[in-house]
Amino acid sequence: MTSIKRKNSLIENDEIDSDEEVPSNTIGENVPLKWYENHEHIGYDLEAKKIAKPVSAGKSDEIDEFLEKMENADYWRTVYDDLTGQNVTLTNEDIAVIQQIKNAQTYPDDHVYEPWVDTFSSEVMIHPILNTPESKASFIPSKWERLKVGKYLHAIKMGWIKPAPPKEDPLSSNSYDLWSDETRTNLPRSNIPAPKLELPGHHESYNPSYEYLLDDAEVEALKAKMESDFDENERATKTIFIPKKYPSLRQVPAYDQFVYERFQRCLDLYLCPRQKRLKANIKDINDLIPDKPKPQDLHPYPLVQSLIYEGHKNIIRCLTCHTSGQWLASGSDDCTVRIWEIATTRCMNVFTFEKPIVSIQWNPVLSLLTVATGSQIVMINPRLGENAKVLFTDEFIKQLAYESSSAATDDCQWVKTSDENDKYIRLTITHSMPIRQIEWQARGDYLACILAPRSDQSQSKSILIHHLSKGRSQYPFKQLKGAVQHVRFHPTKPIFIIATQHSIKIYHLLKQQLIKRLYVNTKWISSIDIHPLGDNIICGGYDSKINWFDLDLSVKPYETYRYHKRAIRCIRYHTRLPLFASTSDDGTCIISHCSVYSDLLKNPLIVPVKILRGHQIINDLSILDCLFHPTQPWIFTSGADSTIRLFTN
Amino acid sequence: MSLQVRFITRLQKYSVPDTTLVIPSSSTNSQLEAILKGLLQQTTGSSNDFSRLSFDFLCLNQLIRSSLEEHIREKDESLLESIIEIEYIEKFQAPEPEDALMHDDWVSTCKSLGDTILVGSYDTKIHLWNNQGEHITSLPGHTAPIRSLIFIHSDEGEHEFISGSHDQTILIWKYDQNKNSVKSLITCKGHQGTIETLALQKSIFASGSFDKTIKLWGLEEQQQQEQTSTKECRVTINAHNENVSSIGWNSSNELVSCSWDQTIKLWNMDTIQSTQTFKCGKAVLSLDISPVNGLLICGFTDRFIRLYDTRVQEGYVLRSTFSSHSQWVPSVMWSRTSEHLFVSGSYDGLVKLWDTRSLKAPLYDLQGHEDRVLCVDWSVDQLILSGGADNSLKMFSFK
């Protein structure tokens, strides 16, 4: 628009230049020239005189046109101005402007950057541009709109218009939130902002009111209060502030406690917990107790003391029960072995030896009661139980190929005794070292024997295995570390379990290799037992811990119990029922229920069910051995008070 | 509080008129007895002396042992509103301790028949006594303690009996008292465990052993009149999973056996089949069947005595439980004539005389033993025998 204006102005300038001959037309832009077509003039000049229509201009014929074209060199830049009826020759500048307009270029002129006049600005001016008053309609709600809305409302009420059905998410039908039931694990850190410093009060002002100022007595009182309220350590971290008055800020000295207080503040910040500690939200203390079945639901197990077997005169170290469940044999420090009728507590037989009895076990197959006394193993046929078996045992011993042999090793001697010489004793094996424990293999042919070598002797000779039918003895282990505490045979497989002071090792006897080594968390193992199914081992220690090993699960304890107060002396499984018992020097025998599942996915369920008491504690010893009845839910305990007690269900 | 009661009885000679009385609810046996005696005095009108008599009172088929109100509250409180019928019976007379027969060793079993008392002991001998407490003889024969004895018959100095022992044999004895000689001795061999129990039925007897079997033996006369002979069993039943602790004949062809395997089994002896098995949950030590009403009592290791009705086909076979002993009950025996009375011996050293209508407390505690009681016997009505681990056989009799 500016360029056109400019052009107009140029033209005007040209006209001004040639003003003398052509008067300017005043009809304005709004009057079209065709109104003057039939007149002699084309408009009026400034003095309202008619401007005569030029004769030649624009009305020349073709020939004149042609001649003009041929003769006039400026013909191409000559234009006819309707308004004045003159031919105008454009100057070079005009041409340049036209060229620029045609090329859509800006005019090279500083007018491009003319200051912007913001006529309709956002600023409200006191004098509005348009002074029309606001129309009334703009204040009145529209009637037609109201009617229209009323119609819609009515239609919605009548149910003609229904809201659009919710847009169905194409994914929602066959997709779901994968993490919907995932609990939030990454909880946002709940930071606590640093504690703020207390804002200074009036008394800390450099120019406090007079009521804040302290006199000498008050200062003394404050110091005395400090002395009495805090001890020396606390006082070191406190400062006494005494308000002082200064006439002007310039006179306030540097605060002498500044560095100290900053330092204390830093200490506070560094010691202050900046994160919220999440406390476990325990509403009921019972929630902490693991969900285990109640003891009442786990019957049968031994409950009450029923019978007492009296007769021994010293500590009873060991017990064994005949497989029929009718006879019980016990070995004591008074050097006797007694055989009892379980049902009546009748002592059926007494065998006296020279040394205390350390270990005793009935042969699982033959009628042979095996007694370890001192460094001797004595096999007795007590002539109890099945007659046929008693006779067979005598025959079996008699027909054994050896008479008295020193066998494979020189360390032990086998001596047979015929029934003419002694009614009961059948076989004696004499060792060079005292015996700690004997253990029959389940088939009753092999007898493992732990010897107690002196500290200067090799530990490898501490385990000896006797072969009854061959009359041979051998040391199965060439080297053994640590003192052997207890051994057991696997109930079904040729596997041998050795408990030394700190570890349990499981050996395969046929392959002659170590299968497993169990890591025990007791300091000193006292006793072990293997579950009748052979997949679980319990182990008791002198530090009163009980470890349960699940051999399928791990070589580390599946569970550890610490329910005894003193050293554990003996730990045993029941051969038929899911029970095990542990006896301790604290005078208790604790019965636990243990369900073992053949399903590998199910862990054993162990519930302690009953504490049995009865034995006295004599010289820090109480119950030394315990033994389950082979069939009944009954348990025998033998103790330092030289009694055996039977607990029944 | 007072209660309305009416006394009834089956005793013809001590009947009272059918009147309703109001008595205090706290009345005990002695007060009831005083009231009843007053009533009797009124009825007969005579000066009959009732002071010697004593009565026991039954309410709701249970002997009253506490106050009347407590007794009824235990059963059914609603009855307190109505008229209560109290039956009275003559009080069972207390047995008197008569004698103690000392032995050399534990008395494990005893039986009496007529005038003769038969005692089996742990000294492996059988001892014969008469009921005056005089020792007749000791019969050695077994090599191990004797566990069980039964009389076959006994007349005119000739005694026939069977003994079972730890030595796994059963001996059938014929002993002539006059000549003091054993006429014949038959050895029954076959058991592979100690003989625990014997039971006789006419000419057949059964034996239970620790080898888990029951064997049946015949008592037919031996052809050859030899002094000693041996015998084989007729039938062997693999009855239980454990020690057969006691057996008894229910009828001529039904045997009842109990075992440590916590079961009681009924056997049909015609087919040798088990007809019923009851699980008890505790090892059963002893049983006896009442010759009067066929009910079964059993002694258990959990110190209870339980009463079973084996004739019941459905529902609870267990009728009632008697709790007063504090130890195992290895021996129980019914009265041969009364349907309500039985004795029990326990390891707590007490023999108790029970009425089946009183569950919590026995009629009488028969004291005297200083150690465990191993056996009791009430085969002869006037005589209760008990033997124990204190080597003595105690005799209690009714005057």
Which chain B positions have a beta carbon within 8 Å of A325's beta carbon? 242-243, 260
Average the pLDDT over A446-473 and give the result.
Answer: 83
In this prediction, residue A453 has a pLDDT band, given cuts at 50, 70 and 90, of confident
B293 interfaces chain A, CB cutoff of 8 Å = no
Q: Is residue A149 part of a domain?
A: no
Report pLDDT for B181. Answer: 83
Name the residue among A346, A387, A631 with its Cβ closest to that of B106.
Answer: A346
Q: pLDDT tens digit string along A420-444?
A: 777 888 888 888 888 989 999 988 8
Q: pLDDT tens digit string along B108-149?
A: 999 998 888 999 999 888 999 888 888 888 888 888 999 999
B293-307: b (≥16 Cβ within 10 Å) or e = eebbbbbbbbbbbbb
Given this structure, which CATH class describes domain B2-90?
A: alpha beta
Contact yes or no for A386 and B211 at CB 8 A: yes
Name the residue among B108, B242, B347 with its Cβ closest to that of A325.
Answer: B242
Contact yes or no for A324 and B193 at CB 8 A: yes
Q: Is residue A278 part of a domain?
A: no
In this prediction, residue A8 has a pLDDT band, given cuts at 50, 70 and 90, of very low
Q: Is residue A120 part of a domain?
A: no
pTM for this predicted structure: 0.71
Report pLDDT for A195. Answer: 78
Name the residue among A326, A345, A649 with its Cβ closest to that of B194.
Answer: A326
Name the residue among A306, A344, A386 with its Cβ closest to that of B193.
Answer: A386
Contact yes or no for B260 and A649 at CB 8 A: no
- Order of strands across the sheet with B364-366? B331-334, B341-345, B351-355, B364-366
B6: closest CA among B28, B26, B35, B30? B35
Is 90 exceeded by the pLDDT of residue A602?
A: no
A204: closest CA among A236, A233, A242? A242
Helices of type H across chain B: 29-44, 68-75
Average the pLDDT over A382-386 and give the result.
Answer: 84
B251: closest CA among B202, B211, B218, B210? B202
B interface test, pick of A299, A323, A326, A389 with most B CB neighbours within 10 Å: A326
Task: Establish whether this prediction's ipTM goes over 0.95.
Answer: no
Contact map slice: B 115-144 vs A, CB within 8 A: 122
Chains A and B form CB pairs within 8 A to the count of 53
Q: Domain span at residue A54?
A: 33-103
How far is CA A369 from its chain centroid? 55
B347 interfaces chain A, CB cutoff of 8 Å = yes
Q: What residues does each domain of chain B span?
A: 2-90, 96-397
A299 interfaces chain B, CB cutoff of 8 Å = yes
Q: pLDDT tens digit string along B326-358?
A: 999 999 999 988 888 999 999 999 999 999 888
Report pLDDT for A405. Answer: 54
With H, G, I as helix, E, B as strand and everything else as coil, classify residue A64: helix
B393: closest CA among B99, B101, B148? B101
Domain end residue (candidates: A62, A79, A103):
A103
**% of chain A residues with pLDDT over 90:** 19
Q: Is residue A333 part of a domain?
A: yes
Q: What are phi and psi for residue B247, nearest 5 degrees?
A: -135, 160
In this prediction, residue A18 has a pLDDT band, given cuts at 50, 70 and 90, of very low
Contact yes or no for B302 and A648 at CB 8 A: yes
Report pLDDT for B225. Answer: 59
Average the pLDDT over A397-404 and give the result.
Answer: 72
Q: Is residue A28 part of a domain?
A: no
Which chain A positions have a beta carbon within 8 Å of B242's beta carbon? 325, 631-632
Average the pLDDT over B150-157 and give the result.
Answer: 84
Q: Is residue A258 part of a domain?
A: no
Report pLDDT for A19. Answer: 43
Is 60 exceeded by the pLDDT of residue A10?
A: no
Q: pLDDT tens digit string along A609-638?
A: 999 988 888 888 889 999 999 988 999 999
Q: pLDDT tens digit string along A408-417?
A: 556 778 888 7
Average the pLDDT over A105-118 and give the result.
Answer: 72
| Amino acid found at A345 | T
A482 interfaces chain B, CB cutoff of 8 Å = no
Lowest mean pLDDT among A498-507, A617-626, B19-28, B72-81: B72-81
Tracing tokens 């839910």 back to the chain, one arrives at A633
A618 interfaces chain B, CB cutoff of 8 Å = no
Which chain A positions have a beta carbon within 8 Å of B106's beta carbon? 344, 346
Average pLDDT, chain A: 83
- Please count the structural domains in chain A: 2
Tracing tokens 């052809």 back to the chain, one arrives at B223
A325 interfaces chain B, CB cutoff of 8 Å = yes
Q: Is residue A274 part of a domain?
A: no
Report pLDDT for B258. Answer: 92
On the question of a common fold for B2-90 and B96-397, the answer reads: no
Average the pLDDT over B14-41 and give the result.
Answer: 83
We report the CATH number of the domain holding residue A340 as 2.130.10.10
Which chain A positions have a beta carbon within 8 Å of B190's beta carbon? none
Which chain A positions have a beta carbon within 8 Å of B194's beta carbon? 326
Average pLDDT, chain B: 86
d(CA B394, CA B367): 9
Give kind and range of the element (H or E) at residue B193.
Answer: none
In this prediction, residue B386 has a pLDDT band, given cuts at 50, 70 and 90, of very high
Domain end residue (candidates: A103, A126, A149):
A103
**% of chain B residues with pLDDT over 70:** 97
Which chain B positions have a beta carbon within 8 Å of A388's beta carbon? 192
Is 50 exceeded by the pLDDT of residue A9?
A: no
Quote the minimal CA–CA distance from A310 to chain B in Å.
13
Report pLDDT for A628. Answer: 92
CB A440 within 8 A of CB A446: yes
A344 interfaces chain B, CB cutoff of 8 Å = yes
Contact yes or no for B261 and A631 at CB 8 A: yes
Domain end residue (candidates: A103, A129, A150):
A103
Write the CATH number of the domain with boundaries B96-397.
Answer: 2.130.10.10
Return the higher-pLDDT residue of B193 and A600: B193
Contact yes or no for A343 and B330 at CB 8 A: yes
Other CB atoms within 10 Å distance of the CB of residue A35 = 11
A300 interfaces chain B, CB cutoff of 8 Å = yes
Q: pLDDT tens digit string along A133-188?
A: 888 888 888 899 999 999 999 999 999 988 888 887 766 667 777 777 766 666 56
Is 80 exceeded by the pLDDT of residue B260?
A: yes
Contact yes or no for B281 and A306 at CB 8 A: no
Lowest mean pLDDT among A429-443, B100-114, B302-316: B302-316
B147 interfaces chain A, CB cutoff of 8 Å = no
B175 interfaces chain A, CB cutoff of 8 Å = no
Going along A531-622, which residue ranges are E strands? 536-541, 546-550, 559-561, 568-573, 579-584, 588-595, 605-613
Is 70 exceeded by the pLDDT of residue B366?
A: yes
Is 70 exceeded by the pLDDT of residue A404?
A: no
Quote the minimal CA–CA distance from B258 to chain A in Å.
15
Q: Which two tokens stand for residue A139?
A: 């204040």
